Amino acid sequence: MARKKKTVDLDRDNGVAPGIIAKTKKRLVVAGGRSHPELTAAVAEALGTEIAPVEHRTFASGEIYARFEVSIRGVDLFLIQTFGEPVNEWLMETLIMIDAAKRASAKRITVVAPYYPYSRQDKKGRGREPISARLVADLLKTAGADRVMSVDLHAAQIQGFFDGPVDHLFAKPVLLDYFERTLSPADREILTVVSPDMGRVRVADTWSDSLGAPLAIIHKRRDPKVANQVSVHEIVGAVDGRTCLLVDDMIDTGGTIVKAAQALKANGAHRVIVAATHAIFSDPASERLQDSSIDEVVITDTIPLTESRRWDNLTILPIAPLLARAIHEVFEDGSVTSMFGGDA
């Protein structure tokens, strides 16, 4: 009697678990909330796709409603929502959209939040304070988000608040490319990178290395009982006769940046240029930032800005190409870290 030929499981021999190959293929779908529709459209265009239609409503009572108008069963959904004003309304809308997507059987839900809400409340500075950045992460996870993508988190530790993958992107390549194209040779010769406070020294140091410029640090003291008020004390480093590039992750009311710029000019700085990722620009930031001590402000469009909050010396750079590339890497199971030289 002939022996039965042994069937070899090639998948197992190759170190791959045996299984069934489905006829369906991965499908990338982009959807967005109402906080920044221009950014969502720009990201979709950069990816070569269209935005999934979503029905949005806000009832007279203030309750929010969201419904996906097409099937999203089994898709890899990237939900784009940033968090400018009104931050609490956009946060609630995001949670409702995540829940709708989960109940519509989306395979994976990635929240793309260019500006992460409540990111400044990342630790307890005094007793009986909340850690609201952690609370936001818990809300996103509970609603059904599988992954979070954000740009220039105020504190890197926020990545550990979310129980799942977090893609921490950096706007530095976008901003750096602009300065490499626009700074004159004369400015490059006398350029100094300045950190507006001790908390941003590490970021400013990477800028210093990239631009081959010396580093200066502004020492400031903030009253923990009074929000948005800063006293600049002293400058560590040479700024006299230099072109100073102030780098920060966000500008809210502009108090820190303006006082830093004034201190630099008072210590002999030739020019002061401000570079920041997130332009929150709470009143009266736009008026403050037009101070004579600041020669130019360069930001990205992670947060939408109305025309009333723009002025001649403000430059806005698009963040959509960076987000689109990161989304493509995540969808294709590629490397987001490789986009930033291994730093992400």
pLDDT for 220 equals 72
In a domain, 155, yes or no: yes
CB contact burial 201-240 (16+ within 10 A = b; e otherwise): eebbebbbeebebebbbbebeeeeeeeeebebeebebebe
In a domain, 10, yes or no: no
In a domain, 50, yes or no: yes
Residue 115 has pLDDT above 80, yes or no: yes
pLDDT average, residue stretch 271-299: 97
- What residues are labeled active site? 220
Mean pLDDT score of the chain, rounded to an integer? 92
pTM of the model: 0.89
pLDDT average, residue stretch 43-49: 97
Give the range among 13-17, 89-93, 94-98, 324-328 with minimum mean pLDDT.
13-17
In a domain, 255, yes or no: yes
154 and 176, same structural domain?
no
286 three-class SS: helix
Which has the higher per-residue pLDDT, 274 or 17?
274
What DSSP letter does each residue of 28-95 carry, written as one string? EEEEE-SS-HHHHHHHHHHHT--BPPEEEEE-TTS-EEEEESS--TT-EEEEE----SSHHHHHHHHH
In a domain, 334, yes or no: no
296 and 204, same structural domain?
yes
191 and 123, same structural domain?
no
155 and 54, same structural domain?
yes
150 and 193, same structural domain?
no
In a domain, 145, yes or no: yes
pLDDT per position as a tens digit, 246-255: 999 999 999 9
Residue 293 has pLDDT above 80, yes or no: yes
pLDDT average, residue stretch 11-34: 78
Local confidence band at 200 (pLDDT 50, 70, 90 cut-offs)? confident
184 and 145, same structural domain?
no
182 and 144, same structural domain?
no
In a domain, 308, yes or no: yes
Which has the higher per-residue pLDDT, 265 or 10?
265
143 and 190, same structural domain?
no
**Best CA proximity match to 340, nearest among 113, 169, 195:** 169
Residue 1 has pLDDT above 60, yes or no: no
Number of domains, the chain: 2
Q: How far is CA 134 from the centre of its chain?
A: 16
pLDDT per position as a tens digit, 60-76: 999 999 999 999 999 99
pLDDT for 56 equals 98
232 and 111, same structural domain?
no
In a domain, 244, yes or no: yes
Q: Which CATH number fits the domain that encloses residue 89?
A: 3.40.50.2020
74: containing domain:
17-168
28 and 101, same structural domain?
yes
